[in-house]
Structure 1
Amino acid sequence: MSKDLPQQSKSEEIDLGQLFNLIGNLFQKLFNFIATIFKGIFNLIIVLLIHVYKRIKWYAIAGILGLVIGFVLDTMEDEVYGANSYIETNFGSAHQVYENLKYLHQLAYVDKDSVELARKLNISVKDAASIRGIYMKPDIDENDRIKMFVNFKKGLDSVNRADYLYDDYIESLDYFSFNRHAIGVASTDRFIFKKLNDNFVKAISNNTYLNELKEVERLNYKQQRESIEVEKKEIDSLASEYLKIRKNESKKEPLPGSGTNLYMGSTAQNQLIVNESVLLGKKSSLEALKREINVHLVKTENVVNVISEFPDAGYDMSEWKDQMKVRLPVIFFLITFFGFILYGLGKYLDQQDKNLNIKQL
């Protein structure tokens, strides 16, 4: 048996050697494949550079021509300015606001009906003709979405709460799920935006049902505030009466077993029915509720609240990549490039056709 051990060891060494050789070959093929890709990319770049270098005059002419034409077009084009206003929708009015804005955008961008647009916004026809578009989108960041998702999951049962994912919730949201929105206006008149502040909100939120709902809710808040005032007066009157009782009781001679005490059914002796501190706490909570109502009355004064108005003047919306003097040289260069490619392809096909005819003969 001792003679068989060295033979097994040599067999294992041979197997390991073949395995390492196989792994080495695989890595070598992988490296060769990657090198081939880089060589192919390098050769393609060299071919393109040679192609452009041999025809540099044509490409230079195309670039200069595109630059000149683009500069002329940019000079003829009106400057477009933009500005944003931020609003907060109440009473579920986001649907109405978006529909009205789509209509205004249709008038400005598609129909170019400056007369109707001027009537809607209560501005001059000249000012309306300068408007190029009206846009709207929710004004919300990732933190707000997370807070909305957390509040939403609180209302779910334990089973659905575990299964419902954040991505599913975000996909289910639409523009109408949010209260804050940004409205953008594009115009060739830099100073038109201040004129839009007075009547713009009325134009996008005019709705009979929403106006009636606003009036009813504000009326409820006012009645609640009046009830709080009445309750506060009653608490003040009650506290004054108990204070008088305390003063009268303090002036009496303390005699054992005599005197008038006010008891509650389950309270200890010599304890008044109501403690003034309880009344003061109740009054303080009513004051806090009144302050909340005052805030709600301000927020619900309009169907749509303007958080930030349009500025006095707009800002330049154009970007360098949108300018024709940048786009046209690139477009002309590509047209020239593909023109040479098609020309070369045509010559190649003609040559192949001649070779086929010679072989057939």
Structure 2
Amino acid sequence: MNLDARTLFFSLMVNVLLMSIALSFNVRWRSRSGIRAWNASLMIQALSWALLIAAYRVLPREMATLGVAGLTGAMSFVYVAAKTYLREPLVKPWLWGVPLVTTAVHWLVFSNYQARIAVTNAALALQIGWIAWVLVRPRARPQTDGRWRWLAATALMMSGVMVTGRFFLVTFSPEAYPSFEAGHWINTLGLVLTNADLTLGTLAFLLAHRDEAERELQLLATTDGLTGVMNRRQWMASAEVHVRLAERHVQPVTVMMFDIDHFKQLNDTRGHAAGDAALVRFAQALQGAVRQPDLVGRYGGEEFCVLLPQSDAVAAKAIDRRLREALARDAAPAQGLLITCTVGVAEWRPGARLDDLLAAADAALYRGKAAGRDRLEVGDISFGADRTPPTTG
């Protein structure tokens, strides 16, 4: 079968355009979704191939240079897509530098066919190799699924091999590659593989898009949407694990329950927007006051809970002190009022369950509110009549 390079270029353009249109209609876009960058890459590539084909008939220098600018710019959008899904910052020189330099050099050396083709393919090979390395390097985020990264890198590396092949072909055997429509097997195979690579790349970034959506759903299921801390359900499940570990290893664990003072009055006098802002500020201050292993959750309304693994009431009092300092230092100027809280603390003792800890902390909290609020009270666990603490000795 004789494959015509011009036909392959045209089919490549149509294939890329159709994939871009299909993505536009079938993917739910989000502001930071990498699939948007990938789709932009497909659109720009389709336009670039059209410009390169048209360059043989009208404004060859202008059309060809714009086409090369588009191809290198499209690779920059692939880089943006990869970095977005890896949740890593962009390196700006890789984003803008290669397309700008390649476009300028292509324009300047346009009259030298061998030089301009060599420059274009060298730039594309550099971009493709760098993006493939970014995807599979050892320090790529471990929490990202490796399947889409390796699939995308494989597609890139296949394309990169053929781009490099064209570079060496035009550099060392220019008579065999007199135009980008030449029927040399490297050029023909490269066009066939590019079609396949774009399909693989689309599949890879759709997988990345799906993984990102699953992470967001998991976050929504476990996180309080307003404050960003654990929601009650997730906090209870995580705290239960720590209480069981404390029981198994006979290690201390402490629960703190926080209630923002006069929160209803704040809502009534300054509105719910001010109340929401106070909740966010309080949660931020609380997260800054606790230690790395401590569990912070919104228990309900203006109540928050913290579980302190392997810690007693002394550690709880230290967190309480840091929290009050942070509220006075940071939250008060931002809100225009001093946010205070009442805190109930309960230490685990053998035989206690999470419900016992919460009940003891809640009772201590209400004692603090009855005593005037803005204070910390330590409670004591009392077992019901149907349960007795285990005996030792």
Scaled by the length of structure 1, the TM-score of the pair is: 0.22
Choose between structure 1 and 2 for higher RCO, CA contacts under 8 A separated by at least 6 residues: 1
Scaled by the length of structure 2, the TM-score of the pair is: 0.20
